[in-house]
Structures are given as structure tokens and as C-alpha cells.
Amino acid sequence: MPVTNDQRAALLGLLTNVPSDDWGRTTGCRDWPVHDVVAHLVEGELLFGRVYRGEHNGLSREDTDPQAGVDRWTRADADTLRFSLWHHGTATQRVIDSRSAESWDREISLFGRPARLRELLHLHFFDLALHSMDISAALGAPSLWGDRIPAIVEFCLRGAPDALAARAFSAADGLRVEVDGAGSWILARRDGAWHLDSVDGVDATLSWITDPETLVRATTGRLPAAEAIERSKVEGDPAVLVELVAAWQVKSG
């Protein structure tokens, strides 16, 4: 998956020029400093690599305690963390690039549910993209997403049906989501479940027209739903949309 390698490379390029003092800047991820977000990504490369190689049969919440992983790197300085992200990321990318197309169908467990190995790869990419946003925003740097924006937005959209599964919004049988530079989708409720559809031939009682960063930040808990809606164009009842977006929280690694 080239986008995983490209996203990691973009982040490493930024970190190469960050002074040591700026690694203490607070990010939007758990109020961690940049140092700890990078440590989290190093731990992620190690864990994803073990699953790709077949050493683990998936991921569980017990395996991915974020704070415990970060705590292991407390004493590491900026240069050590930057090198470790490059070193372990490169090793993991070699495993990704060596796998056959058929091997991505291998069954794994992903946070308690059955999944295919390719789903882990999508999660891996999103985790890198999400935390790249955390870091670039904390440093006041331009976005690192480049032409990967459609894939990042689509991950959030594909996570919506599961996130909304237990919620019935009587005033919202369908939500049209239009994201600048990424596309348009319909989240529709049918037979008691939410589905992600194309915009053709599906009616929606609400429309949310927004930009990629607002959507990602709102659906990962980095931006309150009400503030995200204020930044967006809405067609329909904004109060219903705030409730829906607040419930639509996508899980990352």
C-alpha cells in the first residue's frame, strides 16, 4: 500500500527539521506533546509489523494500551524517536511490500471482531495520517496529507455505520456528506442499520458539506461536534446533525 509509505515519509520529512524544543508542543491527541505522539507511532509500527508477519493474530485493546506504549519511550530524545520511527517503519514497510495480494485475505481479530488483514493495513495508514495531522497542527506546519486526502476521508466514512449502529435518529434517515476534494457519500438508515451508499438514487434528510480536516477532527474526538457544524454548511436541522456527528466516532490504532 504505497499511501502508508508515503504518509510515513511525509511525517519523517517534517520531523527532520523540528528543533528539539518543539517536540514538547501539545497536540490534539490526548494533550500529548509531539514527543509522545511520535513514540505512539513507533509502538504502532512495531505492533502492526508483528501482525503482518503472523506473530500475532490481530489487535486487542489490551495489546494497544496507548499510554503504556508511550511510557516505554519517556527517556528517548527527539533524534532517537525520529530514527526509531524511520527504522521500524522501514522494516514494517518491507513486510507490507513483500506480501502477496492473496495474503491480505488472512483472517485476524481486530478489537474483538473478525476481520481480514487488509483492514489492518487501512487502519495502519489512517493512524499515520491522523497523527501526522496532530503533529503538523501542533507545529503550525502545512498539512502532510497531500493527494491521500480521499483515502483518509473514506476511512472515516467507512467507520460510520459501526459507530452509529446502536443509535436510531428518527429525524435523520439519511445524511449526505460532501467533503471538499474527496467526494460525496450517503449514510442511510435501512432495516435498523446504517449503510454507506453512493449519492445516486438515495434521498437524505440532512446534508453536511465540510472540509477534510474538519470531518476527520470531528469524527475522532479532536473537535466538538457543535464546533465542526459551525464551520460547515448544513442543509436540514443542525441540532440533529450535531447529535449524529457526536455519536460518529471512528477508532484509530
CATH of residue 45's domain is 1.20.120.450
d(CA 185, CA 251): 20
CATH of residue 166's domain is 3.30.1050.10
Note whether residue 253 is domain-resident. Answer: no
Q: Mean pLDDT per segment of 10 residues, for the chain of length 253 residues?
A: 94 96 97 98 97 93 83 96 98 97 96 94 97 98 97 96 76 82 90 82 83 98 97 94 92 72
Indicate if 105 and 159 belong to the same structural domain: no
Note whether residue 252 is domain-resident. Answer: no
Which pLDDT value is given to residue 234?
96
Indicate if 38 and 80 belong to the same structural domain: yes
Last residue of a domain, one of 119, 144, 169: 144
d(CA 108, CA 106): 6
pTM (predicted TM-score): 0.94
| Domains: count for the chain | 2
Which pLDDT value is given to residue 253?
63
Which pLDDT value is given to residue 65?
83
Last residue of a domain, one of 99, 123, 144: 144
Indicate if 174 and 117 belong to the same structural domain: no
Which pLDDT value is given to residue 70?
94
d(CA 48, CA 94): 12
Which pLDDT value is given to residue 197?
85
Burial per residue of 65-94, b for 16 or more beta-carbon CB atoms within 10 angstroms, e otherwise: ebeebbeebeebebeebbebbbebbeebbe
Note whether residue 95 is domain-resident. Answer: yes
Indicate if 73 and 109 belong to the same structural domain: yes
Closest CA to 169 of 250, 244, 245, 249: 244
Domain range spanning residue 14? 2-144
Which pLDDT value is given to residue 62?
75
Indicate if 117 and 161 belong to the same structural domain: no
Which pLDDT value is given to residue 245?
93
Indicate if 104 and 138 belong to the same structural domain: yes
Which pLDDT value is given to residue 116?
97
Which pLDDT value is given to residue 201?
60
